Amino acid sequence: MIISGKPQRHEKPWRLVMYRTDPDGKCVPDYKVTEFDDLIHEYYTQRTLELERLQQLLSSQEISPVHFFMEYHHMSVRDVASRMNLRLSVVKKHLTPQGFEKVDVATLKRYARIFDIGVSDFFQFLFVPPEVGISVEQRSERLLQHVVITVANE
C-alpha cells in the first residue's frame, strides 16, 4: 500500500462548481465557497488518524494485513466473507497474523480484488512524502504492480 504525506489544511477553501447560463446563453461555471470546508478537513484528519492506528496494530502484529484492509475499507467480517464466498470462520482466521501466514496466493488475489489493491500491498507499505508524485498500475491480475515515482523539480 502506498501512503502519501499527511493531509494538509488547504490555504484556499474547497469550492463548489455550479453551472449557470450567461446572458449569451452559454453554460459557464460559477464557483462558490462551500460551507463544508471544516468537515472535509476533519474527515481527512480522522482518516489519517485511523490509518496511523491500523499501521501501529499491523506493525505490532496484533492484526493481519487482511484485517488492516477490512477495517480501512469499513467492511465487516460478514461483508468480506460474502464477497469472498468463504465461511465466516475462514475469514476470521485470516484476520490474525498466524492465520494470514497460511493464506494461499489464489485467495490473496481474491482479497486484493475486493479491497482494490495489488497482492503486493499485503506485504509492503511505501511511505511517500507529499512532494513526491507516485502512480501505480495493477498488472497480471493484481500479482504485479508498475510503480512510477516522480520528483518535483525544485
pLDDT of 89 higher than 70? yes
Residue 97 belongs to a domain: yes
pTM of the model: 0.70
Q: What is the mean pLDDT of the chain?
A: 85
Domain membership flag for residue 146: no
Looking up residue 44, the CATH number of its domain turns out to be 1.10.260.40
Answer yes or no: is pLDDT of 154 > 70: no
**Residue 77's domain spans which residues?**
18-124
Q: What is the DSSP string of 70-126?
A: HHHTT--HHHHHHHHT--HHHHHHHTSHHHHTT--HHHHHHHHHHHTS-GGGGT--E
Report how many domains make up the chain.
Answer: 1
Instruction: Decide if 71 is inside a domain.
Output: yes
Q: Does 131 fall in a domain?
A: no
